[in-house]
Amino acid sequence: MSHDAASRTASSRIKAPPKAPAADARRSTRDRVLETAGETFAEKGADRTTSKEICVKAGANVAAVNYYFGSIEGLYTAVLDEAQRRFITFDDIAAAVAGKTDAKTKLRALIDLAVARLLAPASSSWAFRVIAREMAAPSPAFRTLRQREILPRALLMKSLVAEIVKLPPEHPAVARAALSIIAPFAMLSFADRSILDRAFPSLALDARGSAALADHLYRYAMAGLAEVRRHAMRKKG
């Protein structure tokens, strides 16, 4: 057999790599558009971003936004959902407190979860900046986020605080105490992390300082709740 014939025979035995299924290709394009949109919305805001701009940046057909998301409003809603999923969902919270038998243990679990997520590397992603923009200037998409994620968290926090301080959940002191506990997490979520690092360099606002910060925030919260309880008892007396 000649050298050329042998080469052709060997080549015929080599199978071409399988093509990616069409569904995978569509998913890849959709994910690329979603990721690009997240970065762009975080940088500029949804009101200053166009579908064409996102598609060009994503290397996708200019009709991709409408094809996959229906409209730029639909894309923004999908981005907001993904941002929340990358942060902490209410399902994550429910899992963290599952099996815990008392309010103090549940509160500690929630604080540990929130600090770990906020100080993880993912906290520097576009997801946090998109949520920060949405909280500062709510869009029509905020209604769904509020009903599905924000209000259930607030109700859970108030129920835990009420159980710890032995007051009705609707008591104003319970709302004030819950707000005091939530406030540091809002700061970690939405403040410019580089400014916090410069202002408090000893904090180590990354995974290295996670355990120490969680422990501090829990002890600080419990001390405050103890004072709320004492003050309520003095007023009753």
Q: How far apart, in whole angstroms, are the C-alpha atoms of residue 111 and residue 178? A: 12
Contact between 196 and 133 under an 8 Å Cβ cutoff? The reply is no
Tens digits of per-residue pLDDT, 44-91? 998 899 999 999 999 999 999 999 999 999 999 999 989 988 888 889
Q: Give the integer Cα–Cα distance in Å for 122 and 86.
A: 8
Report the topology of domain 23-84: Arc Repressor Mutant, subunit A (1.10.10)
87-236 — its CATH code?
A: 1.10.357.10
**pLDDT of res. 17:** 44
pTM of the entire predicted model:
0.78
Q: What is the pLDDT of residue 204?
A: 87
d(CA 124, CA 192): 10
Question: Residue 15: which region, alpha, beta or left (left: phi > 0; alpha: psi -120 to 50)?
Answer: beta
pLDDT at residue 24, as a whole number = 62
CB 178 within 8 A of CB 154: yes
71, 77 Cβ separation under 8 angstroms: no
Q: Which residues of the chain have pLDDT under 70?
A: 1-26, 122-124, 237
* Rounded Cα–Cα distance for residues 15 and 99 (Å): 53
Domain ranges for the chain: 23-84, 87-236
